[in-house]
Amino acid sequence: MTTSPGVLKGDGWLRTRGLRLAIALLFSVLVAGTAGYVLIEGWAAWDAFYMTVITVTTVGYREVHPLSRGGEAFTVALIVTGVGTVLYTITLVAATIVEGGVHHRFERRRRMRMIEELRDHFILCGSGRIGSTIAAELRREGVPFIVVERDPERLQAVLARGDLAVEADASREEVLKQVGIDRARGLIAAVGTDAENVYTVLTARVLKPDLFIVARAETEDASRKLMRAGANRVISPYEIGAVRIAQSALRPAVVDFVSLATSSENLELAMEQIEIGPSAAFAGQSLVEANLRQRYGVIVVAIRRTDGRMEFNPASDAVMHVGDQLVVLGRTSNLKEMELAAQ
C-alpha cells in the first residue's frame, strides 16, 4: 500500500513528538524520585538518584540505606509509575532506531544496488508537473528511468509511486555519474528553470558526447541556448500546447488520429520508429521489394535517413539502408515482429 509523502511526514512528526514526551516523563520520574528520597529519608542527592535508578529499572540491588515506612510507600509508588515510563521510553527509542535508522539505511542500499544495475535507461531531471507526466509515460511504456530531484517533498512523492529516484542537483557531474550516465539511453532535462536546464544539458554533454538529450524550454532564447549547450531536442510545452489547441480546433479528426496512434494506452494501434540493423532481411531493398505491409501488416509513414533527412510518405521504390529509421504504423504485435526482423 502506497503512502503519500504528507502521511510519511506526519508519522515522523508524531513519532518524534512521542519520543520527546517519553524522555520528558522519564526525566520527571528521575527528578521526582531523587527529590522524594532526599525529602523523606534525608539522603544525599547521589544516594537518592542511585536508589531511583535501580528502582525504576528493576535491577534488584539492595536498598542504599534502610527505608522508613514512608520511604517504602514512596518506593512502591515510584515502581508503579517509573517502571512503565522506562519501558515506554525504551520501546520508543528502539522503534525510532530501527524504523528511522536501519530501515532507511537498507532502503538507501537497495536503491544504490538498483541504480548500479540500470542499463539503457533514461535520466529524468525534475519531477514537477512536466516531469511527473513524463515519468508516467515512461512507466506505461515499460522504459527504465531514474528521477533526479532536489526538492525533498517531490522526491518523497516519486518514491511513493514506486519510481527510482535520488535527491540531488542534476547539474553536478558526480550526480550524473552516480545515476549511470555512462550506461544511459538518454537524458530529459525538465527542471524548474531554463538556467538549470542549460547547466544540466551542458554537464551531461561533456560527460557523454553521444548521449541523446531532450530539454524543456520556456522561452525562445532558452531554446537557442539549450541547443548550443548540446541538447538534441528542445521542447517548449507552451508552444506545443498552443499548436495542439489550434489544430484541435481546425483539424479535430487529424488530432484524434495522431493521439490514437501515439498513445501508449492504445493497445490496438501504435506508431513506432524501427532502426534497420546490419542483419535485417530487408536492408538494401525497396519498400515494394520488402513487401512490409503484406508481411507485417504495417504502414511506413516516413523514413529518417542516417544523415537526418526525413522522407514523409516515401515512394514504393524508396530503398531502406542500414541505420535508417522507419516510422511505421500498425498493431503492437505486428510492430514487435517487424522490430525483431529489423534487428
Q: In what order do the strands lie in the sheet with 325-330?
A: 270-275, 325-330, 299-304, 310-312
**Domain at 266-342: CATH code:** 3.30.70.1450
Nearest to 48 by CA among 90, 78, 88, 69: 78
Q: What is the pLDDT along the chain (343 residues), one digit of tens a residue?
A: 333 333 334 445 555 677 788 788 889 989 999 999 999 999 999 998 999 888 888 886 778 888 888 888 998 898 888 888 888 888 877 776 666 555 566 777 777 888 888 899 999 999 988 999 999 989 988 899 999 999 989 998 998 888 999 989 999 999 999 999 999 999 999 998 899 999 999 999 999 999 999 999 988 899 999 999 999 999 988 888 888 889 888 888 877 777 766 665 555 677 888 899 888 888 888 888 888 888 888 889 899 998 888 898 898 889 999 989 999 888 878 888 888 888 7
Sign of CA dihedral 195, 200, 206, 210: negative
**Domain at 5-115: CATH code:** 1.10.287.70
Nearest to 125 by CA among 226, 219, 31, 24: 226
Cβ atoms 130, 120 nearer than 8 A: no
Q: Where are the domains of the chain?
A: 5-115, 118-241, 266-342
C-alpha cell read off for 293: 505491409
Task: Mention the CATH class of domain 118-241.
Answer: alpha beta
Query: What CA–CA distances, in Å, run from 155 to 1, 49, 104, 152, 163?
Result: 18, 47, 15, 5, 10
Output DSSP code: residue 166.
E
Length of the chain: 343
pLDDT tens per residue, range 172-201:
999 999 999 999 999 999 998 899 999 999
pLDDT tens per residue, range 213-231:
999 998 889 999 999 999 9
110: left (phi over 0), alpha (psi -120 to 50) or beta: alpha
Q: Global pTM?
A: 0.59
Crossing angle for the helix pair 45-56 and 5-41, nearest 10 degrees?
A: 130
Grouping H, G, I as helix, E, B as strand and the rest as coil, residue 335 is helix
Q: What are the helix (H) ranges across the chain?
A: 5-41, 45-56, 69-97, 103-117, 129-141, 152-160, 173-178, 194-207, 220-229, 237-250, 252-262, 287-290, 292-296, 332-342
What's residue 104's pLDDT? Answer: 65
Cβ atoms 171, 109 nearer than 8 A: no
